[in-house]
Amino acid sequence: MPDTSYQEMVNVKKQFFKTDGIQCFHAVQSFIKGEITPEQAHEIGIKLAEELWGDKFQVVVTTHLNTDNLHNHFVLNSVSFLDGKRFCNTKKDYAIMRKTSDRLCEEYGLNVLSQEEKYNKYATSSLYKELMKDSINYAIENAKDYDEFIKILQDLGYVITDKNGTLSIRRDPYKRNTRIERQFGSKYSKENIYKRILETQPLYPYSSNPMVLITRTYENYNKQKERHYQNKGSIAYLIYQYEKLFGINTENTLKSKMTRMTPTLIAELKQLDEFSNQARFLTRYNINTNQDLLNFEKSAYEKVNPLKSKRENLWKKHKRSKSDEEKQAIENEIVEISKQITPITEEIRHCNNIFQRVEEIKQHQLHEQIKQEKVQFEKEQEKHKKDKNRAR
């Protein structure tokens, strides 16, 4: 109920001791001006919420009349009332939500965006921004200096505007520039990009040939998974079985798209690299259980925190330095410390991503189980109904 929804959501968080982190997720569903009544809009919103989240998460649905086009707002509790698990907001969830919304609108005889219209809206969508961010990160990780960072972005098809200390980029056919510091935060200021290039050691030399990267990455992933996934009680085996069940074959998916590097390809390469590195990570440290992963993560933080503090102090010293010689000496020291920090922070990131990935798999398995039980129940009900009719 509206008056108690906030407290009801808080009570669920307290029940499962998950009052920290992201509190809620927000989504919007809009309708064309004049084609629907407020009552119909709200009814569609309720159906969407029930279908997507109603069996696991509390959600408030409101229909707003304060603009030319009616629209629904959804506020979703980040913690499930069913099992206390957190909602994982992924690109797949967004795609399912959009597809479900389109289907419901079509059932009510309403218009939905055509593929061409969706493409035209792509420039302002979160996916476009996310691909842009992936491209920037890729350029930072593979550039030996700032000039090469700009060149990599240009090779990816971006138009760069670099003036007055501000870096903006865009990609045809879109005409509007994106100021990357304003869009993605201070981590993407020119000064911090310079720092990150200095601190980041490329995993492989920059190459404009994607096939080289894909072959190398996929072979690593394939070799490691074959070795480690034999342990049927391990986290890695769970991930492997999930991929096998749903026919995930990243190698074929990527190779079918190979013409040249694109932001979309960068995103897929990033995912493939992550799979490869996770498999190698689990093998190297013989991590089989959640507790193994937690213990490793704790140990990694104890190693990396003092190094990060030392590097931060060096940057402060660098800022105060007057001579180029002293600055260069400090930069060399920063590079050496960064060489120690980078592999540890990568391992911590693997821990976090593996935890999330396993959680997503378990949620999907639970959803499939509930779905199958529902289908079985409906079959039994139908059989019971037919038996009853025959008895009459």
What are the backbone angles phi and psi of residue 86, rounded to the nearest 5°?
-80, 150
Q: Are 340 and 227 found together in one domain? A: yes
Q: Are 227 and 336 found together in one domain? A: yes
Selection from 383, 388, 305 nearest residue 344 by Cα: 305
* Count of CA atoms in the C-beta half-sphere (13 A) of 305: 6
Residue 60 β-bridge partners:
75
Q: Are 245 and 293 found together in one domain? A: yes
Give the pLDDT of residue 247: 47
Helix 290-320 and helix 324-391: axis angle, to 10°? 150
Provide the number of structural domains found in the chain. 3
Residue 390 resides in a domain: no
pTM exceeds 0.85 for this model: no
Strand order in the sheet with 24-30: 24-30, 71-77, 59-64
Q: Are 232 and 132 found together in one domain? A: no
Q: Give the domain CATH number at 56.
A: 3.30.70
Give the pLDDT of residue 239: 63
Selection from 277, 251, 267, 273 nearest residue 156 by Cα: 267
Look up residue 36 and give its DSSP letter.
S
Give the pLDDT of residue 44: 94
pLDDT per position in the chain (392 positions), as tens? 778 899 999 999 998 888 888 889 888 888 888 888 899 999 999 999 999 998 899 999 999 887 777 889 999 999 999 989 998 877 778 788 888 998 898 888 887 766 545 544 544 466 678 778 888 988 888 888 888 899 888 888 889 998 888 899 988 777 788 999 988 888 899 889 988 888 876 655 566 555 545 455 555 555 555 555 555 556 666 665 555 554 445 444 444 444 455 666 666 666 666 777 777 788 778 888 888 888 999 999 999 999 989 988 998 898 888 888 898 898 888 888 888 888 888 888 888 888 887 777 777 777 778 888 888 888 888 888 887 777 76
Non-local CB neighbours of 317 within 8 Å, separated by 6+ positions = 330
Distance CA 37, CA 115 (A): 26
Q: Are 243 and 188 found together in one domain? A: no
Residue 29 resides in a domain: yes
Last residue of a domain, one of 155, 175, 199: 199
Last residue of a domain, one of 87, 112, 137: 112
**For strand 178-179 and strand 166-171, is the pairing parallel, antiparallel, or unpaired?**
antiparallel
Q: Are 108 and 127 found together in one domain? A: no
84 Cα distance to chain centroid = 21
Strand order in the sheet with 158-163: 158-163, 166-171, 178-179
Q: Enumerate the H helices of the chain as residue ranges.
A: 5-15, 38-52, 91-107, 115-121, 126-142, 146-155, 180-184, 190-199, 210-228, 235-245, 250-255, 263-284, 290-320, 324-391
Residue 372 resides in a domain: no
Helix 263-284 and helix 324-391: axis angle, to 10°? 90
What is the span of the domain harbouring residue 9?
Answer: 5-112
Selection from 318, 371, 312 nearest residue 338 by Cα: 312
Selection from 113, 118, 122 nearest residue 172 by Cα: 122
Last residue of a domain, one of 56, 87, 112: 112
Residue 67 resides in a domain: yes
